[in-house]
Structure 1
Amino acid sequence: MSDAPSAPTPGFLVWRLSMKWRVAVDRALAPLGLTHAQYSLVASLRDMRQAGRKPTQRELADHTGLEALYVSKLARSLEAAGLVERTRDPIDTRAVRLALTDHGMELAVQAIDLAHERFEVLLAPLGGPDADRTREFTRELAQLLEVPVE
């Protein structure tokens, strides 16, 4: 049996990287009173609003990769903070549609700016957000995310 440490696995490295990024974004957004998970919702809702969409909680869960129950809980807390409106879908009354309030939109823009500043620092080893290495890394991550979970 060898005493040499084994090389980290890709799964371990992805986990560590995701935790590092989550902590970095949590710290960057703390002055706005948002967590990384809340940021995922408000930033996604902003992008969807700009595309003319008002997603259901389920659609937002699928988009963010968060569990639907967690999205529901986050949406309720964001609604209580005056950032999100939750409305019943007129056709499917079981579905809840989400939209940013005007205040939520303002906060989302601020949060996105702060997160992007942090991403510039985190992506510096690859040459920054617009570097070829970053684009290739992004393509590879997207490819891994397309693999279905059984």
Structure 2
Amino acid sequence: MSAASSSEDATAGFLVWRLSTKWRVAVDRAVAPLGMTHAQYALLASLYGMARTGLRPSQRRLADHTGLEPLYVSKLARALESSGLVTRTRDPDDPRAMQLSLTERGHELTGRAITTVQHLLDQLLEPFGGQDS
């Protein structure tokens, strides 16, 4: 079976899965020089965006926002805190919850990562007329 006919026979679910896998791998490669993985980027970039709107999300809210499992977000947040990129503090309204925020270093590194990923997106979408097409 040729590649063309296998693509034609693929289900929509398979194609979405393939696209998301290729995107994750591309982002992993793009942010690796910054010492980051795709999952770390997703968490840090989400925190960056939420902070710009004045939010200081809990780990649970960040998990909901990113689509990552809460236990995985907790593990990532602890590792990012150890790396000096994130601070975790108890939520004053819910002592069981941890609020997350970027450190100054985390903010700077995440800004660089966002720029890197935007360039990647520009490259990938260029054949289709770019992001505004």
Q: Which TM-score band (shorter chain)?
A: over 0.9
TM-score by length of 1: 0.82
- Once superposed, which parts of structure 1, at least 4 consecutive aligned residues long, lie more than 2 Å away? none
2:41 match: 39
Percent pairwise identity:
62
How far does residue 126 in structure 1 lie from its aligned partner after superposition?
2.4
Alignment match of 2:107 (pick from 102, 105, 108): 105
**1:1-150 pair list within 5 angstroms:** 5=6, 7-131=9-133
Count, aligned residues: 128
Q: For 2:127 and 2:96, how far apart are their aligned partners in 1?
A: 46
AA in 2 matched with 1:118: L
Greater strand share, structure number: 2
> Whose RCO is larger (CA < 8 A, sep 6+)?
2
Q: For 1:94 and 1:7, how far apart are their aligned partners in 2?
A: 49
How far does residue 122 in structure 1 lie from its aligned partner after superposition?
1.7
Across the aligned residues of Structure 1 and Structure 2, the Cα RMSD in angstroms comes to: 1.1
AA in 1 matched with 2:60: R
AA in 1 matched with 2:33: P
AA in 2 matched with 1:12: F
How far does residue 128 in structure 1 lie from its aligned partner after superposition?
1.0
1:92-135 deviations in Å (ceiling 9; x for gaps): 0011000000000000000000001111122223211111xxxx
3-state SS, counterpart of residue 94 of structure 2: coil
Structure 2 segments unaligned to the other structure (5+ residues): none
